[in-house]
């Protein structure tokens, strides 16, 4: 599906984005406004989770904003009404936090997902839902690249709860006819990525340390392989899921055919920044327990169903991301 077809599909569509002030939700909102959609954003603005009003600065007067928590079933009963599509991006995504506070992770990533689906079933059964999941549910890979048939053996509470969220969406598709798509994301990065702390992935935190002139610590030998997806490519995949009927009821990986070690990623950051330093240090014991080693995805299914493939190479994407934070860093928690 081409961009012109996406514009035709989304123009004047009513679109709800949960987690809409966060990293992925805000970039998606900006693109949907560009495509002519009528966009409503729902976000709890819980400080540690990444919601930031500055994220939607380019479209702040062109979207509706509702500061609400997806755990509030009464609020969601109201918000889903009259919506054509929901991009369900809200969630607790920190693997560390899920181990330290498993009940909050359970409430946000499992109970609230069930409440959202119940709200749709009773108030808007014709809605289409695109649910953002994570590659973390696979755990330590048994083979590479990891496809959708790989066993699900997460190494943390977050992964277990995200599996439940996925399965609720597919169940409600199969039983109640609520059109649902599940997209498993992997190491998404780009402008508006959370950089306030290191509990939601390494990329944002490494970029912050780099721009503050601080040393980056890489755990282990730095040889762990990862695939990265730039935010523009992820937004395109989400839009294709929303528009493509063949995607309904499907679970698909995103990923890339370019695999980089953590050390190579940091070296690339340093090169595009023009300066920086790093060192290899031993794994902290609590993090070693949930480390998955090498990981990269097989995204053939998304390519077949959606016609999707990543376009932005890591060097280009990291350069764009670093440039964004050089320009707007003061809006993201450092001076």
pLDDT score at 96: 73
Whether residue 200 has pLDDT greater than 70: no
The predicted-structure confidence for 147-190, as pLDDT tens digits, reads as follows 999 999 998 898 999 999 999 999 999 999 999 999 999 999 99
Report yes or no on 80 lying in a domain: yes
Q: What is the mean pLDDT of the chain?
A: 93
Which has the higher per-residue pLDDT, 40 or 74?
40
Whether residue 111 has pLDDT greater than 70: yes
The predicted-structure confidence for 43-76, as pLDDT tens digits, reads as follows 988 776 778 999 999 999 999 999 988 888 889 9
Using CA atoms, how far apart are residues 267 and 279, in angstroms rounded to an integer? 11
Beta pairing partners, 219: 281
Report yes or no on 245 lying in a domain: yes
Domain interval for residue 99: 3-189+229-255+296-311
Instruction: Looking at mean pLDDT, say which of 99-113, 206-220, 288-302 comes out highest.
Output: 206-220
Whether residue 276 has pLDDT greater than 50: yes
Between helix 262-273 and helix 202-211 the angle, nearest 10°, is: 30
Report yes or no on 269 lying in a domain: no
The predicted-structure confidence for 74-88, as pLDDT tens digits, reads as follows 899 999 999 999 999
pLDDT score at 100: 83
> Is residue 335 very low, low, confident or very high in pLDDT (cuts 50, 70, 90)?
very low
> Is residue 90 very low, low, confident or very high in pLDDT (cuts 50, 70, 90)?
confident
DSSP 249-292: T-EEE---S--EEHHHHHHHHHHHHT---EEEEPPPHHHHTT--
| Cβ–Cβ < 8 Å for 331, 192 | no
> Is residue 199 very low, low, confident or very high in pLDDT (cuts 50, 70, 90)?
low
Beta pairing partners, 146: 297
Report yes or no on 260 lying in a domain: no
Q: Taking residues 99-107, what's their average pLDDT?
A: 86
| Cβ–Cβ < 8 Å for 291, 241 | no
Q: Taking residues 265-277, what's their average pLDDT?
A: 97
Strand pairing report for 38-43 and 14-18: parallel
Q: Taking residues 108-132, what's their average pLDDT?
A: 95
Query: Residue 91: is the preceding peptide bond cis (ω within 30°)?
Result: no
Query: Residue 65: is the preceding peptide bond cis (ω within 30°)?
Result: no
Report yes or no on 203 lying in a domain: no
pLDDT score at 201: 76
The structure tokens listed for 292 are 């998955």
CATH of the domain at 110: 3.40.50.720
Percent above pLDDT 70 for the chain: 95
Domain count, the chain: 1
Whether residue 131 has pLDDT greater than 50: yes
Residues 6+ apart with CB under 8 A from 77: 119, 122, 123
Report yes or no on 324 lying in a domain: no
Report yes or no on 316 lying in a domain: no
Percent above pLDDT 90 for the chain: 78
Identify the weakest region by mean pLDDT among 3-12, 55-64, 193-202, 277-286.
Answer: 193-202
Whether residue 334 has pLDDT greater than 60: no
Beta pairing partners, 185: 134
Radius of gyration of the chain (CA): 19
| Residue 267 burial (C-beta neighbours within 10 Å; 0-12, 13-18, 19+) | middle
Report yes or no on 14 lying in a domain: yes
């Amino acid at each position: 599906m081409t961009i012109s077809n996406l514009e035709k599909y989304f123009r004047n569509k009513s679109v709800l984005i949960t987690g809409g002030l966060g990293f992925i939700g805000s970039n998606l909102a900006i693109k949907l406004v560009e495509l002519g959609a009528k966009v409503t954003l729902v976000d709890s603005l819980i400080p540690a989770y990444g919601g930031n009003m500055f994220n939607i600065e380019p479209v702040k007067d062109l979207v509706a904003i509702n500061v609400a928590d997806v755990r509030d079933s009464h609020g969601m009963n109201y918000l889903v009404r009259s919506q054509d599509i929901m991009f369900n991006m809200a969630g607790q995504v920190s693997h560390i936090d899920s181990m330290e506070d498993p009940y909050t992770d359970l409430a946000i990533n499992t109970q609230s997902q069930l409440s959202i689906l119940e709200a749709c079933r009773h108030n808007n059964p014709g809605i289409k839902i695109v649910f953002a999941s994570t590659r973390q549910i696979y755990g330590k890979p048994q083979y590479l690249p990891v496809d959708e048939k790989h066993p699900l053996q997460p190494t943390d509470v977050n992964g277990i709860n995200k599996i439940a969220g996925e399965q609720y969406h597919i169940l409600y598709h199969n039983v109640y006819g609520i059109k649902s798509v599940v997209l498993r994301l992997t190491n998404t990065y780009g402008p508006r990525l959370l950089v306030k702390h290191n509990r939601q992935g390494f990329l944002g935190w490494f970029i912050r340390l780099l721009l503050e002139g601080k040393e980056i610590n890489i755990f282990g030998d730095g040889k762990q392989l990862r695939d990265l997806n730039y935010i523009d490519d992820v937004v395109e995949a989400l839009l294709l899921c929303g528009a493509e009927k063949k995607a309904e009821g499907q679970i698909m990986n995103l990923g890339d055919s370019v695999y980089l070690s953590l050390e190579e990623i940091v070296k690339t950051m340093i090169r595009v920044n023009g300066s920086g330093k790093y060192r290899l240090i031993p794994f902290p014991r609590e993090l070693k327990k949930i480390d998955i080693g090498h990981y990269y995805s097989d995204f053939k299914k998304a390519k077949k169903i959606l016609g999707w493939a990543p376009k932005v190479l890591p060097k280009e994407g990291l350069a764009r991301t670093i440039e964004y934070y050089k320009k707007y860093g003061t809006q993201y928690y450092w001076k």
